[in-house]
Amino acid sequence: MRPISVLHLNSMLTGGGTDDRSVRIAHALSKLGHKIWLAGPVGRESSEIAQQLGVSFHPVPVGPLKIPLIFSTARFIRSQRIQIIHARHGRDYWPAILTARLSGIRPKIVLSRHLAKSPGSWASRRYLLGQCDALVAVSHFVAKVLREGDSDPESCGEGLSLTHGFGSGNDFTFLRAAASVQGTRQFGVFLFHCAICCVM
């Protein structure tokens, strides 16, 4: 199997659970032979941990409205021919989407959801899923909330459909927008390896 080039975009890297998961999965995927980069601000707790683990790190400025981050990351995606961009923080979802579009090479867009809550804004609830290739819920409970709105019934995700489930340890449930997620074989392998790395 050919290695997949993946960029994990994280504008925080301050050391919380989501940041730790981002770094650990990037590290595990690189051990599986994929070309993995983590893009984020320098000098943060998790960026230093990533570099200590040997994860390839691309420093990006954050700046007002994350505009410097978006343009810097788009150039990097274009120069490295990144196949997949993966964002985990809700505040990075739209920057990741805009970055992918601006890069001109249309990498697959994967978003992970850690919070048991639907996206906060009306625009995100209505349009976000149509812009990404896969939405990853880190547990069955998070997936249930996204589908049914248990914790916030006013913001449930209408039309979400379950595409894949991997049942061990920390379950990963893959959701998709109405648009079919066909993609390439490599994209399917990446999603599968994400599930594996979650329990390594």
With left for phi above 0 and alpha for psi between -120 and 50, is residue 157 left, alpha or beta? beta
Instruction: Sketch the domain layout of the chain as residue ranges.
Output: 5-198
Task: Kindly state the average pLDDT of the residues 37-59.
Answer: 94
Q: What is the DSSP string of 134-166?
A: EEEESSHHHHHHHHH-SS-GGG--TT-EEEEEE
The reported pLDDT for the residue numbered 122 is 66
The reported pLDDT for the residue numbered 181 is 39
The least confident of 77-86, 153-162, 182-191 is 153-162
The reported pLDDT for the residue numbered 18 is 87
Beta-ladder partners of 174: 136, 164
Fold of 5-198: Rossmann fold (3.40.50)
Alpha carbon of 99 to those of 55, 72, 143, 172: distances in Å?
Answer: 21, 9, 26, 25
Q: What is the pTM of this model?
A: 0.76
Rounded CA gap, 137 and 160, in Å?
A: 12
